[in-house]
Amino acid sequence: MRIELERRPDVSKLFSILSPFIALGLTLVFGGIMFMILGKDPLAALYSFFVEPLTEVWSLHELAIKAAPLILIAVGLSVCYCSNNWNIGAEGQFIMGAIAGSILPVVFYEWQSPLVLPLMMLLGMLGGALFAGIPAFLKAHLNTNEILTSLMLVYVAQLFLDWLVRGPWRNPGGMNFPETRTFDATAILPEMIASGRAHWGFAFAIIAAVLIWFMMRYTLKGFEITVLGQSERAGRFAGFSSRKMIWFSMLLSGALAGLAGIAEVSGAIQQLRPVISPGYGFTAIIVAFLGRLNPLGIVVAGLVLALTYLGGEAVQVSLQISDKPIRVFQGLLLFFVLSCDTLIHYKIRMMWYDLSDTASEGAR
Amino acid sequence: MPAEGEPANGLLLAVGQLTKLFGTFAACDGINLDIRPGEIHALLGENGAGKSTLVKMLFGVLAPTSGQIVWQGQPVRIASPSAARKLGIGMVFQHFSLFEALTVAENIALSMDPGVSLSRIAKEASDLSHAYGLPLDPNAHVADLSVGERQRIEIVRALLQNPKLIILDEPTSVLTPQEADRLFETLNKLKAEGRSVLYISHRLEEVQRICDRATVLRHGKVTGACDPRKETPSSLARMMVGSDVAHVTAEGTSAKGAVKLEARHLSASARTPFAVSLKNICLKVHAGEVLAIAGVAGNGQGELFDALSGEYPVASDDVILISGKPVGTRGINARRLMGAGFVPEERHGHAAVSALSLSDNLILARSQSDRRAFLGGGPLGLIRQDAVKMAAKRISAAMDVRKSGENPPAGSLSGGNLQKFIVGRELDRQPTVLIVNQPTWGVDAGAASRIRQALVDLAKSGSAVLVISQDLDEIFEVATEIAVISEGRLSDIYPASDLSREKIGLLMGGMYGKTETAETAHAH
């Protein structure tokens, strides 16, 4: 037997719009089943997972804090994915951005000036971009698979950060804890509004999303990205260079991931630690696809995924279960989003053959 | 033919009211067809008429929606290609399914039952191919073989199953006239043995030459069943197209102007192991001239287009000149800005992006050459959708592009209509040089004649046109000058009136006849 995906002759408009919601619904149903298997009341669990975090002002601030890096990274990744460059190393670029941006408050901590903060942000973007430049170079000039290289560099970045905070950058007055010194007040990204902790990182995310949306929708650059993503040959016919596009998309997404990194460190953590991200760089891949690679959709998707982080923390407290359900939820969501979208464009067909056919079939 | 109530009256295959629906679209709508033992039966029709769908149902690739297939008097359900082979139906597809890195025998073994030794297959294939006048070396690597030889592999592969019916899908579209003659001899041999052949083609002349009976399809329905020898080409064409096809007129294209496109000893090495390198190509196209480059597929046509268009610029500047200026190292947009236009062979994913709308596909080719009209906002490069959509509408009207909706995705258009748009996209700029690779490949007769006329008219208006084509009918319709490409080498350029099909066939086979006398005789 063989299972084939057959392209549907026409795609239902209604279901294209409904698809993310169906995926969300299915995730909730299967999430509920998971809670049931864990022996918890599924409705209560889902309530504290998805609704409770939205009922208090402070937790809305937390939502914005968690959503900011997800949106920033995912917007950059959407440009990569639209142009057929599969950067999955945003986690590493996030960390390298955080490290590069932290040079000023950690190494030059005595320099206090209003210039520090903007420079930190720029250094963060530069660090992320340069780190993304490694897989870009490898792909553009040595024809290396960027999925492998960008992923492997994540672990390089994580270990590099670990070494820094345990070694040269360890806080001299920090009782030997693996942390850098806490940032000076001039190096801390301020709150947006007085009612809570949410810092300017969220504003960066919204601005980036709108700018990238504008670029993709109205400019020749956006058109170039779309064309090269659909067909490299057609792009060449249009006079676009796929090699330059590798550099452009990787550097752009690296810079945004780096900005997310330094904004998170400067705004929320205020020092470097061995672990500064609960997997934002990987979760952002889900955000990018849940948002259909559309920057405005990504803003919504980022908020939804941020909610799973908050809800995950909430159920740990209220239901006394581990943090693993968050991962399962995110996995379920990605699975259902991708499969719903696939089934809108394709239908499943079973082919009942005996196996001896497949050789000649395959050769055709 | 009567579908029911007829006993096993010696028919090999009888198809009754066969229908295939894709959604609500009927690709085949109540088709009746019968094939007698020992006949060559033609299946005629334009692209999209339903020929491929019909034979795919006969070969078990697609399942019919309704209707019946009667094989030697027994109603059958053909569930898969192997079921078809077991019944005794063999098929040679238009697009070969061969692995280039494997040998002939290995490729054949792939379609046989496992457990037969390679050496036995090699011997059988070799014997069979010689017996039918299609000599093959079973140990040759497919990559080294010509297209005609590759087709032989497919035919031998089908014959090894000892079929009673062989289906051939557009077999001559890739052959030189001489190779085609050889194929016809083989078909006649098969016929003499009592085997039947279902011969799919849109070349009327061939069908008249070798086929005993013909069934004509249009829009999924049978529009005629006839003896092709009793018909005229125009009566057959009318059954295929439904109306008379406009004749292309090429008069008045003789006046020659300045050289607009020139290649001087152009060489380029192959980019991939299976590509062809260009060797010392020299050509000149004058204003008002249509130079057609004939040749069998895979002899460097694509590579020549890549070099001339600037998609893959060459190493030195002065081997390619547009309007007298050296452009060899410049990219495609620089050449467009000098007045050149380009139409590549492959529509989907090269000349156009299927998922994008027609207006977006217009920007694809003209974002730089029409920068002032289509882009605003200075360095931002904002696309002026209104201006682009207007231009796309103008092109669609000028070329009679039939489409669903105002600005549909390119992939939703039929091949002919999309090709009209792609050609129209360039004509709309009035290019001084137009380079077209396979202008009417896979395009229906109506659209093809429209496109050919447009090329001739462009040359008449004073542009230089270079047409790369495999289709000799097309070449004789549009060309004022003809050259032949073979293994990456270009023959001399001859006036179209001086060449016969036979001469072109010889040149295609690699007899360039590049002599001093010919060269001086043709010096302009």
Q: Pick from A221, A237, A361: which is nearest to B332 by CB?
A: A237
Count other Cβ atoms within 10 Å, centred on residue B365: 26
Domain residue ranges of chain A, discontinuous segments joined by +: 65-290
Mark yes or no for CB contact A234/B107 under 8 Å: no
Q: What is the pLDDT of residues B360-375, one digit of tens each?
A: 999 999 999 888 889 9
Predicted ipTM of the assembly: 0.82
**Chain A residues touching B167 at Cβ < 8 A:** none
B82, B371, B404, B435, best to mutate vs chain A, most A CBs in 10 Å: B82
Who among B110, B344, B383 is closest to A223 (CB)? B383
Q: Which of B80, B333, B354 sits opposite A239 (nearest CB)?
A: B333
Residue with tokens 């509004």: A193
- The whole-number pLDDT of residue A138 equals 97
Burial class (CB in 10 A: 0-12, 13-18, 19+), A24: middle
B274 close to A (CB below 8 A): no
Q: Are B291 and B465 in contact (CB under 8 A)?
A: yes
Name the E strands within B80-174: 89-92, 165-169
Which residue numbers in chain A have pLDDT < 70?
Answer: 1, 351-364
* Closest CB to A9 among B23, B110, B350: B23
Alpha-carbon distance B494 to nearest alpha carbon in chain A (angstroms)? 31
Question: Which residues lie closer than 8 Å to A38 by C-beta, 6 or more apart?
Answer: A321, A325
Q: What is the pLDDT of residue B246?
A: 67
- The H-assigned helical ranges of B326-414 are 332-337, 358-366, 371-374, 385-399
Nearest CB neighbour to A234, from listed B333, B364, B382:
B364
- pTM given for the model: 0.78
> Residues of A with CB below 8 A from B436's CB?
none
* pLDDT at residue number A363: 40
With CB atoms and an 8 Å threshold, state whether A219 touches B346. Answer: no
Per the CB < 8 A criterion, the answer to whether B34 and B186 are in contact is no
Are B353 and A231 inside 8 Å of each other by CB? yes
Q: A219 has which bridge partners?
A: B382
- Rg, C-alpha atoms of chain A: 22
Instruction: Check residue B403 and report its DSSP letter.
Output: -
- The answer to whether the CB atoms of B113 and A218 lie below 8 A apart is no
Chain A residues in contact with B355 by the CB 8 A cut-off are: 230
What confidence score (pLDDT) does residue A329 get?
Answer: 80
B53 close to A (CB below 8 A): no
Residue B92 near chain A (CB below 8 Å): no
Single-letter code of the amino acid located at B430: Q
Does the CB of B378 have a partner CB in chain A at under 8 Å? no
Residue of B nearest to A236 (CA): B311
Burial zone of B387 (CB within 10 Å; 0-12 exposed, 13-18 middle, 19+ buried): middle
Write a three-state SS string for A217-273.
HHEHHHHHHHHHHHCHHHHHHCCCCHHHHHHHHHHHHHHHHHHHHHHHHHHHHCCCC
Give B23's contacts in chain A (Cβ within 8 Å).
9-10
Domains of chain B: 13-241 (3.40.50.300), 259-353+409-521 (3.40.50.300)
B23 touches chain A (CB under 8 A): yes
Please tell me which of the candidates B22, B355, B383 has its beta carbon nearest to residue A9: B22
Structure tokens given for A121: 């942000």
Per DSSP, what are the bridge partners of residue B486? B489
B107 has a chain A CB within 8 A of its CB = yes
Number of H helices, E strands in chain B: 18, 23
Angle at CA of residue B370, ends B417 and A222, nearest 5°: 80
Is A237 within 8 Å of B351 when comparing Cβ atoms? Answer: yes
Burial code (b: 16+ CB inside 10 Å, e: under 16) for B269-295 equals eeeeeebbebeebbbbbbbbbbbbbbb
Identity of the residue in B107, B110, B380 whose CB atom sits nearest the CB atom of A219: B380
Cα separation, B482 vs A199, whole angstroms:
72
Measured between CA atoms, how close is A219 to chain B, in angstroms? Answer: 4
Counting as low any pLDDT under 50, the low residues of chain B are 1-8, 513-524
Which of A13, A220, A351 should one mutate to test binding to chain B, selecting the residue with the greatest count of B CBs within 10 A?
A220
DSSP string, A121-173: HHHHHHHHHHHHHHHHHHHHHH---HHHHHHHHHHHHHHHHHHHHHTTTS-TT
Q: Cβ of B344 and A237 within 8 Å?
A: yes
Find the farthest-apart pair of alpha carbons in chain A and give their distance in angstroms, rounded. 75
Contacts of B379 (CB under 8 A, 6+ apart): none
